[in-house]
Amino acid sequence: MANLVLFGPPGAGKGTQSERLIEKYGFIHLSTGDILRGEIKAQTTRGLEAKKLMDAGDLVPDDVVIGMIEHKIETAVGAKGFIFDGFPRTVAQAEALDSALESHGLAIDAMIALAVPDDELRTRLLERGKTSGRADDQNLDKINNRISVYKDETMPVAEFYSGQNKYKGVHGVGSIDSIFSDICSVIEDL
Ligand code: ADP
């Protein structure tokens, strides 16, 4: 079984596609956004510190998310395969992920990158904001900030994995089913 990075801008559909992939292949899902929201709910010190940054659409510091992910990998070694969703979001995180996996004799097999135009992202996020209760989905300025943080800090992660020949692009517009089937083809060709 493979270890995958599911990559793409905010609103690309990573969470939706992850759910289907878990159901079909039994992956362990590691979403830093979900873990951080869990910490906010539980009112941990880490959660309270992260909340302001998340609400504004800024990134939480690398050491915080790297520590969380290392811990989750430790507790799930022996699993069928991981899907990393919303992580790595910086090149420093990608390097840390490589070393964390390597220390368990594991590696990333592919980055599956969902491509979606900015206008479509804005529409999807504002729509999700009506029901998600997420402060970062409800305001256009925050959404635009997330998209620009993605371009400045996160897009270089795609180059990091292309340099390892692991980058697989998937068109992220269309029906959820058709995008899912494109992702499955990539996985089955690995
Ligand atoms: P989305 O992909 O819709 O932006 P996420 O749930 O992945 O949403 O992330 C929400 C917020 O959580 C981000 O805007 C950021 O503040 C924080 N976050 C999540 N993952 C990371 C990460 N790997 N590094 C830094 N911050 C992160």
What fold, for 2-188? Answer: Rossmann fold (3.40.50)
Indicate the pLDDT class of residue 51, thresholds 50, 70 and 90. very high
Tens digit of each residue's pLDDT (9 = 90 or more) over 137-181:
999 999 999 999 999 999 999 999 999 999 999 999 999 999 999
In this prediction, residue 62 carries a pLDDT of 98
> Distance between CA 97 and CA 30 in Å, rounded?
12
Strands of the chain (E only): list them.
4-7, 28-31, 82-85, 110-115, 167-171
Residue 57 near ligand 1, beta carbon < 6 Å: yes
At 66-108, the pLDDT tens digits run: 999 999 999 887 778 999 999 999 999 999 999 999 999 999 9
CB 83 within 8 A of CB 30: yes
Output the six-digit token pair for 123.
């529409």
Supply 142's token pair.
């925050």
| Mutation choice for ligand 1 from 32, 39, 150, CB with most ligand atoms inside 8 A | 32
Asked whether 65 lines ligand 1 (CB < 6 A), one says yes
Length of the chain as a residue count: 190
What pLDDT does residue 28 have? 94
Is 122 assigned a catalytic role?
no
